[in-house]
Amino acid sequence: MKRLITFEGIDGSGKSTQIRLVCKRFDALGLQYTAVREPGGTRISEKIREILLQKENLELTAAAESLLFQAARAQLTAEVILPALREGKFVICDRFTDSSLAYQGFGRGLDLNTLETLNNYATQDTQPDLTFIIDIKVATAISRRSIKVTDRMESGGDAFMERIRRGYIELARGNPGRYRLMNGNLKERELFQQIWNILQEKYVGVL
């Protein structure tokens, strides 16, 4: 049984916070899992991450950006995700294929079908079992990252972020089987409780 769980949402929506809480609970239960973040997670993917996030790389085109994300994803999938899934472990991803649809598709205007084809190519047709989309207003997300220095992807402006937020909501509406749209305004613990309930329902007898 495949156990791939992904977390999505605009920057500052609370993905990493919730993943930390899920991992803590998995640890407490003694469950085997691997947690990764995109872009990154392998030696080569981390190098690609630097190119993607460095602010001086202003001339990077939307197509090149998109392919670099996919290259990092292909490496991460082959090197880490698929081996862990084959061992029967849970894999928890901080961003995955839906980030390409949301950011490069809805955000930058690239063709969604092309991006889906690239997603399938990079992941060897690996689809998440369950995807939590943490939804939050752009202004709230921005206010949360006050002290953090923004990277290239986070410097796209409010309108860009707004398109991404709308894109995630559209994805969630299109496939309620895989996506769960979560309210990112909830307190960390409250949101975690909802996420945990959904996980328990999905993996009955395991969690």
Ligand X SMILES: Nc1ncnc2c1ncn2[C@@H]1O[C@H](COP(=O)(O)OP(=O)(O)OP(=O)(O)O)[C@@H](O)[C@H]1O
Q: Is 43 in the site for ligand X (CB under 6 A)?
A: no
Q: Which does 14 bind (CB under 5 to 8 A by kind): ligand X, Mg ion, none?
A: ligand X
Q: Is 144 in the site for ligand X (CB under 6 A)?
A: yes
Q: Which stretch binds Mg ion (CB under 5 A): 13-21, 26-34, 54-62, 127-135?
A: 13-21
* Closer by beta carbon to ligand X, 9 or else 40: 9
Rounded distance between C-alpha atoms, residue 157 and residue 146, angstroms: 15
Q: Which stretch binds ligand X (CB under 6 A): 4-12, 51-59, 63-71, 109-117?
A: 4-12
Sequence-ordered list of residues with C-beta below 8 angstroms from that of 120, at least 6 positions apart, any chain? none
Q: Is 12 in the site for ligand X (CB under 6 A)?
A: yes
Q: Give the strand pairing for 33-37 and 179-183.
A: unpaired
Which among 205, 183, 155 is positioned nearest to 18, based on CA atoms? 183
* Closer by beta carbon to ligand X, 17 or else 34: 17
Residues that bind ligand X (CB under 6 A): 9, 11-17, 144, 186-188, 191
Residues that bind Mg ion (CB under 5 A): 16
